[in-house]
Amino acid sequence: MKILIVCSGNAENFSLEKDQAFIYDQIKAIEYLYHDIQFEVFALKGKGIVGYMHEFEKLIDTIHHFQPDIIHAHGGHIGFLSIFQRKVPVVITFHGSDINKIPNRFISFMAALFSDSCIFVSENLKKKLPFIKGQIIPCGVDLSIFYPINSTEAKKQLGMNPDQKYILFPSSFTNRIKNFPLAQSVMHHFPNYQLMEISNRTRKEVNLLLNGADALLMTSFSEGSPQIIKEALACNIRIVSVNVGDVREQLKGVDGCFCCQFNPEELTEKLKRSLAGPRPTKGREKAENYSNTRIAEAIVVIYNQLLKK
């Protein structure tokens, strides 16, 4: 079986492993489990449908030379472009902003309507595209990269102040969708803690940050199925988050982790409560539900169903 992965490649000095890590992990997990599946990656350059349309001829050339059995497009706009070739069946994975952002939703709806199969990373996303059938399959987490280690050792490896207490913010402070002002308003109540952004880090470094920090605080306006929550669970770190994407489901049943409304008072109260207790012990157990192996198996089921059709 030959699968052509189509995804965005707009990042400077684009690297699939670095810039589309969840796709990279998905491919590697499937290749490890199923030796008869071959992948090719086509990374689109450009912004939006107009930008992507300039890449359509290159996409057709790649299809002609690789001769895939299935195209797996990641994102609504990319899926929309992929369905214009009518030879190869198309699976589209919807990740979040392609549906959460109203201007993108119509494009995603049209892409879903004419695709052969749809994957949504959370139930919340699927509900926003009514009448569209699809599977709920979140992106997986690599449990060999994200795992608990001693906090002191993690700080030492990263050169963090061993005496400083840290709260992690799951992106750059300048990323508007991540809602830094709300996190900042919460942190006014924690003068002894430093809020640290996760930006321009390798995944190994993110693992060390998660283990070295005292908690993760997520205040995003919207999410699909946020990877950082799964990664934090795998490290048994305290998590306090607003109710976006599938966060409530991810944190369900994990002591010391809380899902809140967009309310600074509630976020403050829950973060105080979380920090007053021990680090979670069942986070990694919950993260196993999102292991790359399980996700890979679910995706290959969809591939095989399409081939049978």
pLDDT at residue 18, rounded to an integer? 84
pLDDT at residue 254, rounded to an integer? 94
pLDDT at position 67 over 80: yes
Nearest residue to 183 (alpha-carbon basis) of 216, 223, 229: 216
- pLDDT, tens digit, for every residue of 282-306? 999 999 999 999 999 999 999 999 9
pLDDT at residue 96, rounded to an integer? 86
- pLDDT, tens digit, for every residue of 80-135? 999 999 899 999 999 988 998 888 899 999 999 999 999 999 998 999 998 899 99
pLDDT at residue 78, rounded to an integer? 93
pLDDT band at 19 (very low <50, low <70, confident <90, very high): confident
Interval 62-67 mean pLDDT? 96
Radius of gyration from C-alpha coordinates of the chain: 20
Q: What percent of the chain clears pLDDT 90, i.e. is strictly above it?
A: 81
Interval 151-168 mean pLDDT? 95
pLDDT at residue 309, rounded to an integer? 79
pLDDT at position 52 over 90: no
For the chain, the three-class secondary structure string (H helix, E strand, C coil) is: CEEEEEEECCCCCCCHHHHCHHHHHHHHHHHHHCCCCEEEEEEECCCHHHHHHCCHHHHHHHHHHHCCCEEEEECHHHHHHHCCCCCCCEEEEECCHHHHCHHHHHHHHHHHHHCCEEEECCHHHHHCCCCCCCEECCCCECCCCCCCCCHHHHHHHHCCCCCCEEEEECCCCCCHHHCHHHHHHHHCCCCCEEEEECCCCCHHHHHHHHHHCCEEEECCCCCCCCHHHHHHHHCCCEEEEECCCCHHHHHCCCCCEEEECCCHHHHHHHHHHHHHCCCCCCHHHHHHHHEHHHHHHHHHHHHHHHHHC
- pLDDT, tens digit, for every residue of 200-245? 898 999 999 999 999 999 999 999 899 999 999 999 999 999 999 8
Interval 146-171 mean pLDDT? 95
pLDDT at position 46 over 80: no
pLDDT at position 72 over 80: yes
pLDDT at position 59 over 80: yes
Cβ atoms of residues 91 and 73 within 8 Å:
yes
The b/e string for 185-224 (b: 16+ C-beta within 10 A; e otherwise) is ebbeebeebbbbbbeeeebeebbbbbbbbbbbbbbbebbb
pLDDT at residue 252, rounded to an integer? 94
Q: What percent of the chain clears pLDDT 70, i.e. is strictly above it?
A: 100
pLDDT at residue 189, rounded to an integer? 96
pLDDT at residue 12, rounded to an integer? 81
Interval 259-276 mean pLDDT? 96
pLDDT at residue 234, rounded to an integer? 97
